Structure 1
Amino acid sequence: MSRKRIDLRDVAALAGVSLGSASRAINGVENVSTETRERVQRAIDLLGYRPSHAARALRSRLSKTIGCMLSEATNPLYARLFQAMEARLRAEGYVLLLATGLNDADRELENLRLFAERGMDGMILTPGNERDRRILDFLDASDIPAVILDRDIETKKDVVMFNHVPAVKRITRELLDLGHRRIALLVSHVDVRPNRRRIEAFKAAMREYGITSPNELVRLQTTSTTSTFDEVVGLLKGKEPPTAFIVQGTNTLLSLLNAVAAVGCRIPDDVSIISIGDPDFARTHVPPIAALRVSTDDIVERTVELLLKRIKGDRSMPPQRALVQFDFKPRQSCGPLRAQVAGSGL
């Protein structure tokens, strides 16, 4: 004999309240007393009742789901952001669903269309194709509230930007003040705002000291760890090797550290290193790697606050822009340029 399916009427009967009161308590309507909420919750727990998500979405016209599209999930910052945003939105009653764009415009457009087709209440986006006309047109036409993270996109959506330029200038000057002049910058080859701003800031800081950085010291990296390893080994074995590196704190940093060890260089005696981003392994490395870091909590709070304001009805305000700052964590991976290194190479 099949077990009777528990529904809202059973909850209301056990709680001793009307069907309407039980429904309002479950859906979080404000004009419900604390006592009624507690009685309904006890009944739910005793009966093992699970409200129908689809039915609640139909009544409230909200799916209570947020679509999150990241350019990649392996980036340590993005991984931390997703975990923190998921927890923050769960506390507000929302489920955060992840999709990756992998810097492929067709895939990103497909993800955006899926978010729309599945009735997402909002979107959090870091597309890898800022200037793809199809993506821009979709965002302009979409009435789904969205917050775009750290991208130069011409859109009426809200944005949360990271303030790269002063941060990268600061760490470049840090190395210059230690005497380094052959400084290499390793960033991703993907043409998006963070990489453009990092290169811009690095070159500007070098010019302030009267130095024009050779093109061979600004290296655009693919996702291949082997490629980065070989490239760094080649630089360090060259006639004029770099004495310092500024590097993206992803697998690129790992490849750099492996390459430095492979050629027998010591950190910071032979090579100084600063990471853009502060992954866990940077802090536990021997010696610990100096890093630029951005507050995950700050990004999440600003992003979620903007998105929930839009979802809850404040859609008439003009597009909002929030700016998140980096801070520098000096550690033992930076040291002054040694005279013998400056004069004779590694």
Structure 2
Amino acid sequence: MTVSRLGVNIIMEPLPRGMKNMRITIKDIAQRSGVSCSTVSRVLTNHPNVDPKTRERVKQVIDELGYRPSRIARGLVMGQINVVALIIGDIRNPFYAELTRAVKDILNKEGYMVVVSDSDYDPQKEEIYIRAAEEYGFAGIIMITAMETEALIQQLEKLRCPVVLLNRYLPSVETDVISVDNYLGGYLAAEHLIKLGHRNIAHLAGFKNSSATRDRLRGFIDAHVHYGIQLNQERIVYGNLQMEAGYKFAKEYLSQNEDITAVFCGNDLMALGLIEALYEEGKEIPRDISVIGYDDIDMASLARVKLTTIRQPQYEMGQTAAEVLIDRMKGKIGAPKRIIFTPKLIIRESTAEYKPGK
């Protein structure tokens, strides 16, 4: 077959038997074009030092063979690939699912592939994923979970690719941070319960070495101070942000502390687990005990008792984190950004006014 392109007649031989089902390589293109592999590489990278007629001949062979260059292989040669690592704490948590969707929507539009890694809130896994991202030449990293450890801090300080912390921050690490005002969120939760007349309020918090947990706890404590209410420190218990933690808290802790009239949970999943256990114990929500969560995942409004909670603008946070990372990957320099969103109290059915002697 003879093909004419830009006045150049190119004689194309039929493909050898079986080649259509084989992975085409640069070597195959070079052999059929009658040029060296280095010339084919220069054509693929649009290098100017290629004769126009030779470039046309190589391009025609590429079209005829249906060759598609490997972005990963090319990226490894160049030292970086258009892949972003997204490290999350728990892939089962709907809160992370919405953040992940937002991050992928934005990055995919810009030609980046997103690799999602589930750390199970394990600092060692976080360190492994970061190390892998750097070794494979990933373009950037977004961490939705960042457990504050000395090893992680040292690792992030040495990274050569940009990193954005989403819904977390590390005080000693200078990097871009996208988060919600977790201090205000904790304050709003406690204030809501206090204004309903509750005085014996427990807090089922998240992980101790999480900035989000610490900030929500500070807000929770300061609301008590502001309203002149004595807070029993034994009422602060730490959980793993999963439903089972809330379930266990209700079965083991609340059953032994029946004077508690309200609970602020560090996320919606623990709140939902707590409510389930309370119903098993014959309790009514909110008649016997008020419960407030944090995040406002879809399940919060679909539970048997619609959950009062603190809403985070999940999609907007993920979108902003991706946009900031894209700027950094494109070489935009400047002081680290700290973008803080405002949480909102969403009042539903799981909280009510405290009535003595109920």
TM-score higher than 0.5: yes
* Residue in structure 2 matched with residue 29 of structure 1 by the alignment: none
Partner amino acid for 2:272? L
Query: How many angstroms apart in 1 are the aligned matches of 2:210 and 2:136?
Result: 28
Amino acid at match of 2:151: R
When residues 47 and 254 of structure 1 are mapped into structure 2, their CA distance, relative to the original with a 3 A threshold, is: farther
2:232 maps to which of 194, 204, 214: 214
Q: Deviations over 1:69-122 (max 9, x none)?
A: 223323321222112212221111111112233333332222111100111000
| Helix, strand or coil at the partner of 1:337 | coil
Is the aligned partner of 1:3 residue 2:19?
yes
Structure of higher CA gyration radius:
2
Check if 1:135 corresponds to 2:152.
yes
Matched with 2:210 is 192
Quick check: 1:95 aligned with 2:110?
A: no
Unaligned runs of 5+ in 1: 10-18, 26-39, 342-346
Displacement of 1:62: 4.2
Task: Please give the alpha-carbon distance, in whole angstroms, between the structure 2 residues aligned to 1:166 and 1:229.
Answer: 26
**Cα displacement string for residues 8-67 of structure 1 (whole angstroms, at most 9, x for unaligned residues):** 98xxxxxxxxx99x9689xxxxxxxxxxxxxx9xx98x9865432235436876411001
**Residue 118 in 1 paired to residue 136 in 2?**
yes
Report SS of the residue matched to 2:120.
coil
Provide, for residues 207-238 of structure 1, a one-character-per-residue CA deviation record: whole Å limited to 9, x for no partner: 21211211232111246755643431344444
Q: Paired residue for 2:122, among 104, 114, 122?
A: 104
d(CA) in 2 for partners of 1:181 and 1:101? 37
Deviates more, 1:66-75 or 1:116-125: 66-75
Query: Match of 1:261, as an amino acid?
Result: Y
Residue 336 of structure 2 aligns with which residue?
319
Are 1:267 and 2:272 an aligned pair?
no
For residue 161 of structure 1, the aligned residue among 179, 182, 200 is 179
CA contact (8 A) 1:127 1:151 kept: no
Most deviating of 163-172 and 221-230 = 221-230
- Sequence identity percentage: 25
The yes-or-no answer on 1:54 pairing with 2:72 is yes
Q: Evaluate the alpha carbon distance shift between residue 48 and residue 80 of structure 1 in structure 2; reply closer, same or farther with a 3 A threshold.
A: farther
Q: Show CA shifts across 1:127-168 (max 9, x none).
A: 4431x2322222222220110121224223211132011222
Alpha carbons of structure 1 residues 339 and 134: separation in structure 2 relative to 1, 3 Å: closer
Answer yes or no: is the 8 Å Cα contact 1:235–1:242 preserved in 2: no
Distance change in 2, residues 1:59/1:236 (3 Å)? closer
Native 8 Å contact 1:273 1:333 kept in 2: yes
User: What residue identity is the alignment partner of 1:97?
Assistant: V
Q: How far did residue 309 of structure 1 move?
A: 0.6
Question: Do the aligned partners of residues 139 and 230 (structure 1) sit closer, same or farther apart at CA in structure 2, a change above 3 Å counting?
Answer: closer
**Cα distance, 1:3 vs structure 2:** 2.8
For 1:87, the aligned partner's letter is D
Q: Which stretch has the larger CA shift, 53-62 or 105-114?
A: 53-62
Q: What's the secondary structure of 1:123's corresponding residue?
A: strand
**Is the partner of 2:237 in helix, strand or coil?**
strand
Give the Å deviation of 1:262: 1.5
Provide structure 2 residue ranges, at least 5 long, that are not aligned to the other structure.
1-16, 30-39, 47-58
What corresponds to 2:222 in structure 1? Answer: 204
CA distance in 1, matches of 2:319, 2:247: 37
Instruction: Figure out how many residues of one structure are paired with residues of the other and give that number.
Output: 315
1-structure distance, mates of 2:120, 2:248: 24
| 1:290 positional shift | 1.0
Contact 1:104 1:128 in 2 (8 A): no
How big is the alpha-carbon RMSD for the aligned residues of Structure 1 and Structure 2?
3.0
C-alpha separation in 1, matches of 2:319 and 2:242: 33
| Secondary structure of the structure 2 residue equivalent to 1:121 | strand
